Every structure is written in C-alpha cells, then in structure tokens.
Chains A and B, each alone.
Chain A
C-alpha cells in the first residue's frame, strides 16, 4: 500500500491543517467529562453559583469547539479524499486502457471493471474514514487513558484492563465474519444466476414444462442463502451484547474498586462519575479502532488489486527495423507463428503478401485462428516467431500512434457507446462533419441516420440497443472509413447486413477507396468471393490460398463450405 502515499504528498499541508483542527476538536471533547467531574468535586464545595455557571460555560465552550473542529476537519477530509480519489481513479483508468491485450486477457474485463469501481470505492472509503476516525479514535483512547491516569491511577488501571478484551472480541469476530460474508455473497450470486438463467430461458422452461424443476432448483439456492445468512447473523450477533457487557463490567469494576479507595480516603467518588463518562468515550474509540482494522484488510486487498494494474507495464517493446523489407509490399506475413497461452500454436507458419489496394479474405471455422491474424497485424499481441511488415518495415518499429492511425477496423460484436451517432463515428478524432457524412454515405448509413428527426445528433443508447444490428454495423463501418485509413479491416462484420446493402457497400468501398488495402474475415464465402487473395485457415494453418475460382478447384474444404452455403446467406 506504499504507493498510496505518493498521492498524499501534494496534499500534505491540507492534511496537516485538517489533522491539527481535528486534534483540537477531539481534545475539547475530552475536556467535557473532566470539567463535569471538576464541577461536582471542586466547584460545588465553594458554594458559589457563579463558579458553577462559569465552569458550565467552559463546558459549553468546549462542546462548541469540539463541534466546529469536527465539522471543519471532516469537511477538509472530504476534500482531501475527493482529490485523492479522483486522481487515483483517473490514473487507474488511463492505465487500464493502456494495458496490452495479453494483460487485459489475463485480468479479464469484469475484473478490471470492478477494480476501477468497487476497489477504488473501498480505498476511498478507507482513506476518508482514516481521516475522520483514524485521528479521533486514538486521541480519545490515549487522551482519555492519560486523563483518567492523572485523575486516579489505580481506578484507571481497572478500567484499562477491560480494553484488550473489547479489542479482541470485536476484532476477532469481525475477522471471523469476513469469510462468512463472502460465502453469503457467493450464495447470493448463485441465487441470482438461477433467476437470470430462468428469466432468459423462460420459453424453453415453459416449453418443456419444467416449472417444478426450476422451483426446486431455486429453492435449493434460496435455502443455502438462508442458511449462510443465518450463520453470519448468529456469529456477528455476538459483538454488540459482548461489547456492552464488557463496557458495563468495566464500570462495575471501577465502582467496586473505588469503594475501597474512597474508604481509605485515596479516591473520591466524583472521580467515579467522570470515569464512567471517559469509559464510554474510550470504549467507543476502541470499537472504532477494531472496525478500522477490519476495514484495513478490505482496503489492503483492494489496494493490491489496483496496484497490480498500475504497475503492469506493456510487454510490447519498440524494436529497430532490420531494413530487409520491400517497401513496395504493403503488408507481409513472413512465416508467422503465435500462441496465446504458450502451449499450443494458435497460428503456424503463416505467410502471405499484399500490395496496396489489394483485397484479402480470410475464411475458416470458429476458433480456426482467423481473428488471430488480425490481432497480430494490429499488434495486440507480438508474434512468437516470424515477422509482420507494413510498407516494408517491421510493425514492432512503429510507435503505437503511427500504427493505429493506419487502420480502420470493425470487430466482431464491436462497440458503440452512449453518445450521438456523429460522435460514435468521429470516435474522438479530428474529423470534420462533412467527412463524417461522406463516410456514412459510403457505408450506406446516411439514409437511416437522416430518417431520425434529429439526424446525426440522434443519441445511441448504451450498447446501441436502440439501433438494429444492421444499423449498428453501418455506423461502425462509417467509423472505420471516416479517417481515410490505409488498411481497412472487417472482422465478420457484414453478417448483420442484408444482401443488397452488403453489395452496395462493397461497390461504394472500391469506388471511394481504391488504394486502401481491405482485409475481410468471414464465415461466408459470399463475403470473400471477390477478393484478390483468399486464405482458408483450419487449426491455425493455411490449408488453401488463392482466388475463389482457384480454391473451388483445388481446395476441398473451401468447396464444401461454398456448396453448403449455395452462394451465401439467402436472407438477412
């Protein structure tokens, strides 16, 4: 958790001022029981009402100072927390987006998401709590102890004796509770999963008349949840009664012992009254401290998860080009092999070359390695052996920016986000509105966009659920071509277009982008039929390459696929 402190450095002054104010406030709070016992013990005997009023006023002043001090300090703490948390989350998000594909795979998207959200909230809460309670509680604890020691050492020792028990009880039970809570969480997840499954599969369930079966399945999960929740409750329920009991026993102890000392004349009974007050304050502080320990374990786990992402550096290093490439060849794969996990090769000895403006089609079954070729070309991953060149230069010698500016790409299940259609096409690049409209026209998207009353300003909902599959696809294609890319990549992306639109799109593309190299990955023969080069990939190996006519003659698998599709998808 050391890295956290780097964030606090610039906030040093603010934290110090806030802490000082908090200390003043807390000390004033400590004065109140002291003054109370002082009035009862020393002021009343003066038989002077004015004196009592004076000390009463002093108590009131302390109360006001304590109140103001706490308010100001808590507000300053909120500000510190805000600045800290904003900065931390900002850097974490930027780092997350900068992760290499391999690292993103390793962390997984849901995990990265929860690191940015719930983990940062955990750390933020802890930082906030530390500033509020982390200062107050120790002061109340130590200050209270010192004052009671000064007032009456022997009585104080009786009282302090109970403190370790309070700490042990609260701390150990809370620790015991943490794994139980995660068990409850698991059973909640289990229950929710069944509800989600059934809500989605209601047609199948009803069709097969499985309602009783599903009810029984749910009942089991419901029962487990009930059992686990009860277990946690029974254990955590110990904390409060035991705490209260220990506190009360401390008070009883003080009274009992004080009886002896008062009898000896070495204690006074008014001290006992003050003690009872201090004891409440001190044991509250003890409780806060034990809670903070539990919070700490939670926060430390989150902080670790955050720092894992923060410290993750890209394994994709820039290297020098060997100068061996032919600059007139646009894209070349030279004996490229690659494995995602380092166990079995996902691509083996892939070689091909493309000239500027040529069209490449890649076809093969799901999982054959089609998309892997694209992942390597865009350098989401580095090859294990072999070399990929663009314009004759090793792609590892380009900077990330140089490389990404060459591509326009539409992935499988690519994403549109909650913003206007125009912004979805622009995608944060500097592209004029005219160029965007131009791109949309080529992508066959202009007509449907202008059919919305607000046209290009029409807002897309999260995940693009207010657009049909085909509309989404055309927005994505507009995005890909809006920046006039050197290389255009379609990963199985015309599948949502009906035949006519698909044909129009292809015609418009070759008209407007004659010098752009286009790579299409597809499952349908019709999508790659017209390409200058078609690669048929099976299990990471090229089993056929050439034009459509050639493959129909010479590649058995290609022929099979083509025949089964009978010229492609019929409708849709």
Chain B
C-alpha cells in the first residue's frame, strides 16, 4: 500500500518535472493552446454549416440559394482558417518540443561530463547512449505529437457532443452506449496484445543479436565449414521471432476491424433511429418544437459528428500507452540528472600550477566496493624525475593506482601528497593537468589529426604540433596522407592502424608539458620494429618527468627506480630490479621463467 503511494508520488513528481520543462516555454505553450482551440472550433463548425446548407437545399419550396451560398462561404472560411491554424500549430509545437528536447539533451550531456569516472566504469556505453537518443526521442514524440493530440481529442469529443446535443438529444443515447463499449474493447484488447508485441520486440532483438554475433565470426565459421549448423541455429531463432510476429499480428488484427464495426453499428443506429425520427418529423407526428424533431440535414450532421467522434476515442488507448512509455523514459533521464556529480573541490582547495613532480602515496587503502580491498596500505615515494614501474598479471589492480593518482576514485584511507600537498586539497583540474597519460586503449575522437594532437594542449602553435608528431615518429606518415594533418579520423574513413593511432596519442602526450607522465601499456599496439624506432622518442618524453609505467617490456621495467609487483590485489614486492632479484621472490621467478 505504501509502496503504491510512493510510486504514485514519484509519478506525480515526474509529471511535475516534465511540466516544468513545458512551462518554461509558456508563451509558445499558451499560443499553441489558443491555436488548438481555434483550429478545432472551426473544424467543428464545418458540419454545422453543411447541415444548414443541406437543409436549405432540401426545402420543398425550391432551393434557397442565398442561404446555401452563405453557408458554403462559412464552410470554406472555417476549413481554410482551420487548416492554416493547424499548420501554424504544428510548427509551433515543433519549435516548442525541439526547444525542450534540445535543452534536455544539453543538460543530460553536461551532467554526464561532471559524473565521476566510476559512473562510466559501471554503466555500459550503450545504456548511456540510449538515454540521450532513445529515451529523449520517446519524450519528444509525446511532447510534439501526443500533447496536441490529447488537447485536440478532448476538444473534439466535448465539442462534438455539444453539437450532437443541439441537433438531437435522444440520439445522443446511441453514442453514450457505443463509445464506452469501444473504449472498453480497446483497453481490454491492448492488454492482450501489448505483451505479445513486447515479446516480438524481444525476439527481434535476439535475432539481431545472433546475426551480429555470427557475422563477426563468419571467418571462423567458414574455416571450420560450420555454415549449415550455424544456419540451422539461426533458423530456430528466426522461426521463433516470426512466430512471435505472427502471434502478435494475429491478435492485433482483431482490434481495428472491431472498432470499425462498432463505429459502423453506431452509424447504422443513427441511420435507423434518425430515419424513423425524420420520418415522423416529416409527416407531422413529431412537432417541430419537440426534442425528437430532426431534419435531414440534422441526420447528416449527426453522422458526420459521430465519425469525428470515433477517431479520438480509437486513439485513446494508444496515447495512454505512449504517455506511459514517455513517463518511464523521463524517469530514466531524470535518474541520470539526479546522479551525484564528482565531489566539488573544497572551498579552500589550492591552486597547483607549477608542479615539481614529487609524488608520495602514504598508507593507501582502497577497494572499488567496500567488501573487496584492492590496495592495502600501500606506500610509494616517487621523487621528481624518477620512474615507477608497476608489474603483475592482468586484473591485479595495476590501473587502480593510476585511478587514485588522477583522483578518478578517492582512496578509503591514507593520502597522496603532491609536492607535499595532500592531493585532496588541490583543485581537481590543476591536479589532473599535472599529469599526461598514454593509455592502452587509444582514444581519438572524430576530427582532424591536427585537432586530435592539439587536444594535448590547446594553446600550442602549429609548429609545436608538428614537432610533437615528429617526436612520436608519426609525422612522415601523416604528411604522406592526401590531406595531411587535416585528415579526418573516423571509423569508416582512412585506414589507419591501431599502432598509428597509438602514435598519435603519444604525439598528444608530447605536446602537453605536464611534469608527471603515466604510461599504461602505452606501446602495446605498436609492433616491435616501430617500438624500437620510437624508443628514443619515448625516452625523450620521459626525461625530467616523474613516470608511472605499466609495461611488459623488460627493458623499461629494469631501468625503473622503483618496481611495484602487484598480485591478487596487493603490492607483494617493491624495490628496484637488483633488489628484487636479490629477494628471490615472485619477481625473481617471473624474471627467470623467460629463460627456461
């Protein structure tokens, strides 16, 4: 019971929050509201004038042309203005919804960039993207389409009812019966059909997933000659998907003809009842003053109004459904907007501009979750210009130290001192700018090579960019491309290998002149020959910098001032190469295993 209450409250909360976005555009919104009223009022008036015109034609004394023309003029006026208004309305609604959607996307993205790295580590990229595309699109559809539809529908239904009431009170009874019947049927049917469509969507998803999976393995399948067996697996999924398609369509096929039936029955009743009433009205049984009196034009109008009436009623259930999905989409979007951002810098946080590069980790303990400690009481001291190498098997927590240095995560206890200042007291931006990183996963964005290198330091001159590229041994490759530094890097663009991408990120690192360097398997994508070529450049890059290196090349590790051996989440050995060899521990056995 209480649960249901909170759910209702939160639904109300979402509604209010969404309304705020709409109300922020209140001038447009009110304008749209007025346009809706105007357009609908005019289009509702149309049948009234056509009824009057028909009555004027029908006059037994001959056609009353002036009245006919007058009504026709009214009709044309109503329809033309109504069409104009509804077009203006749709334009207003597009601008209204686009403004809201643009703002939402902007807010959402800007929120994302303030979130801690942890958020991106724990949420799939696909999910993040779907908030910005699918979820917001769903809200957009409701704002730009359904909102108007609802306003129009309500107006049309109420308006039609009023006009029908004016034409013939007894015949309203027909509508009073048929309308609830069709509402009940749509609601009931959609309860049956919706899960079937959901299942269909799920099966389509499985089919797409399987096709993708198998196609990425097409070479392996071909090598083993396993085409038939994989095809038969595909067929099974294909059959299931098509079966769910059929089941959904089978049930779905019922709805519209049934609703149509009810409308037709309703018109039949109007014809019969209206016909009888008209008959008695004509032969004088029903007096003109009576509520039962009806003209031929009246019957015609009634038919027209009941058709007008049927549309919105049929749409009712659909719109309700769309509102629901828009609500849950909004809920997901708001959930991201309510995420806690990276903690703000303390008000007395220190600027940290000209760092020397002395880094000290003191008694650091950290785990990504409370129950699993990754680093236990770690103490490392890296003086200006020294090199610290971190070695150990994958997944042992090598990258964790880097995460803490950069304050992507905060340690649970202990402190990191930068030139003697606790890093928690330094402005985040300044702290991070003291580091340069080259990571195993090369990260380049879709843009020119020049811009990608420039990313390292935006105020660098073109000469500095070219020099950085030369230092990273990538300049001649870039200059050999038809567009040179203006070549746009994109997934489908020029063929540029992983190794070359990595060299561009190394060039980026050259450009930045931060005093501390982090290399996380930085040359893992570069083949040995190229690595030999850039080794001198790398040495150049490391010169005079404090370096933290995760690497597997022995040459790099051997020369480090300190080697941290990480295993099963803890630093098990620490020292320089000679010390560690002398210790005869894990490092020693690793070192020797290569000669066996």
Contact = CB atoms under 8 A, between A and B. Distances in A.
A148 B75 CA distance: 23
B455 A262 contact: no
28 contacts: A25-B257, A29-B260, A39-B275, A56-B271, A63-B264, A63-B268, A81-B246, A93-B231, A93-B234, A188-B133, A202-B113, A204-B437, A206-B408, A211-B113, A230-B98, A233-B94, A233-B144, A245-B82, A249-B76, A272-B54, A277-B303, A366-B527, A407-B224, A409-B220, A415-B216, A557-B529, A561-B532, A570-B557
A89 interface: yes
Contacts of A209: 429, 432-433
A245 B80 contact: yes
Contact of A97 (B221, B271, B391, B528): B221
A63 B259 CA distance: 11
A355 interface: no
Interface residues of B, number: 148
Interface of B: 43, 46, 50, 53-54, 56-58, 62-63, 65, 68, 72, 75-76, 79-80, 82-84, 86-87, 90-91, 94-95, 98, 101-102, 105-106, 109-110, 112-114, 117, 120, 125, 128-129, 132-133, 144, 204, 207-209, 211-227, 229-231, 233-235, 238-239, 242-243, 245-246, 249-250, 253-254, 256-258, 260-261, 264-265, 267-269, 271-272, 275-276, 278-279, 282-283, 296, 299-300, 303-304, 307, 391-395, 406, 408, 429, 432-433, 435-437, 439, 441, 443, 445-446, 455-456, 458, 497-499, 512, 527-532, 535, 552-555, 557, 590-591, 593-596
Contacts of A244: 43, 79, 82-83, 86
A110 to B, nearest CB: 9
A229 to B, nearest CB: 6
Contacts of B271: 35-36, 39-40, 56, 59
Given A49-B276, A68-B257, 13 more contacts: A67-B260, A71-B253, A104-B218, A192-B133, A195-B109, A201-B443, A226-B102, A237-B87, A241-B90, A252-B72, A252-B76, A565-B553, A572-B394
A195 B127 CA distance: 11
Nearest to A495: B524
A500 interface: yes
A434 interface: no
Given A90-B238, A259-B68, A263-B62, A36 B267 contact: yes
A343 to B, nearest CB: 13
Nearest to A90: B235
A507 B238 CA distance: 44
Given A67-B260, A365-B527, A367-B497, A571 B225 contact: no
A427 B226 contact: yes
A40 B230 contact: no
Given A97-B222, A209-B429, A255-B72, A570 B213 contact: no
A219 interface: yes
Contacts of B82: 241, 244-245
Contacts of B256: 70
Contact of B79 (A63, A226, A252, A277): A252
A428 B230 contact: yes
Contacts of A82: 242-243, 245-246, 249
A565 to B, nearest CB: 6
B214 A97 contact: yes
Contacts of A109: 215-216, 218
A277 B443 CA distance: 64
Interface stretch (A175-183, A285-293, A462-470, A511-519): A462-470
Contacts of A300: none
Given A226-B101, A404-B222, A415-B213, A564 B532 contact: yes
A99 B221 CA distance: 11
A161 interface: no
Given A93-B211, A222-B105, A427-B224, A71 B554 contact: no
B299 A273 contact: yes
Nearest to A264: B63
Contact of B213 (A89, A99, A418): A418
Interface stretch (A4-12, A72-80, A438-446): A72-80
Contacts of B394: 468-470, 572
The listed residue with most A CB atoms (<10 A of its CB), out of B207, B215, B260, is: B215
A199 B594 contact: no
Interface stretch (A112-120, A320-328, A331-339, A447-455): A112-120
B296 A39 contact: no
A258 interface: yes
Nearest to A62: B264
B54 to A, nearest CB: 6
B157 to A, nearest CB: 18
A486 B414 CA distance: 59
Interface in A71-111: 71, 74-75, 78-79, 81-82, 85-86, 89-90, 93-94, 96-99, 101, 104, 109
The 10 A-B pairs with the shortest beta carbon distances in the complex, nearest first, are A428-B229, A404-B225, A56-B272, A237-B90, A78-B249, A233-B94, A63-B264, A415-B217, A74-B253, A201-B443
Contact of B91 (A198, A234, A407): A234
Given A229-B98, A234-B91, A256-B68, A199 B128 contact: yes
B253 A237 contact: no
Nearest to B110: A215
Nearest to A118: B208
Contact of B225 (A238, A401, A418): A401
A468 B261 contact: no
A71 B254 contact: yes
Contacts of A560: 528-529, 532
A270 interface: yes
A242 interface: yes
B54 A269 contact: yes
A77 to B, nearest CB: 8
A271 to B, nearest CB: 11
B338 to A, nearest CB: 19
Interface string A189-212: 001111111111111111111110
A202 B120 CA distance: 8
B113 A205 contact: yes
A16 to B, nearest CB: 19
Contacts of B233: 428
A503 interface: yes
Nearest to A49: B276
A361 interface: no
Contacts of B456: 208
Given A255-B54, A269-B58, A570 B552 contact: yes
Given A47-B279, A244-B83, A523-B528, A214 B113 contact: yes
